[in-house]
Homo-oligomer: A and B are copies of this chain.
Amino acid sequence: MKVIVDLCVIPLGVGVSVSQYVVACEKIINEAGLVSRLHAYGTNIEGDWDAVMAAVKKCHEVVHEMGAPRISTTMRLGTRIDRDQGMQDKIDSVTSKMNG
């Protein structure tokens, strides 16, 4: 089952600057070979359900290892069985109608 996820990992108890933890998560996602794109409030990830979820779990493990005692993550998870649709397809289906 393919999934498109929007992931936002928030470490607590480590101050206001959290970018180093986001960087660590980006590396995990990239090393997993997943298609992803960072935005200003999270990261879009596309891939097989199990591979994506394994990466999310590793993000929590690594961010804890880096010193964050607590993490509060939010995710959106989209699956569909009617047709194959990637991240770029979703954006294109909107922008094509914006310009139309």
CA distance A35 to B69 in the complex (A): 23
CA distance A69 to B81 in the complex (A): 5
Q: Please state the number of chain copies in the assembly.
A: 4
Interface contact A82-B94, CB-CB below 8 Å: no
Given contacts A16-B13, A22-B94, contact A70 B78 (CB under 8 A): yes
Q: Counting CB contacts under 8 A, is A32 at the interface?
A: no
Q: Which residues of A contact B (CB under 8 A)?
A: 1, 3-6, 8, 10, 12-13, 15-16, 18-20, 22-23, 26-27, 37-42, 44, 46, 49-50, 53, 56-57, 60-61, 64, 69-82, 87-88, 90-91, 93-95, 97-98
With A6-B41, A6-B42, A41-B44 given, name 18 new contacts (CB 8 A): A12-B18, A20-B97, A23-B94, A23-B98, A40-B46, A40-B91, A41-B76, A41-B78, A41-B87, A49-B60, A53-B53, A64-B79, A71-B79, A71-B80, A73-B75, A73-B76, A73-B78, A74-B75
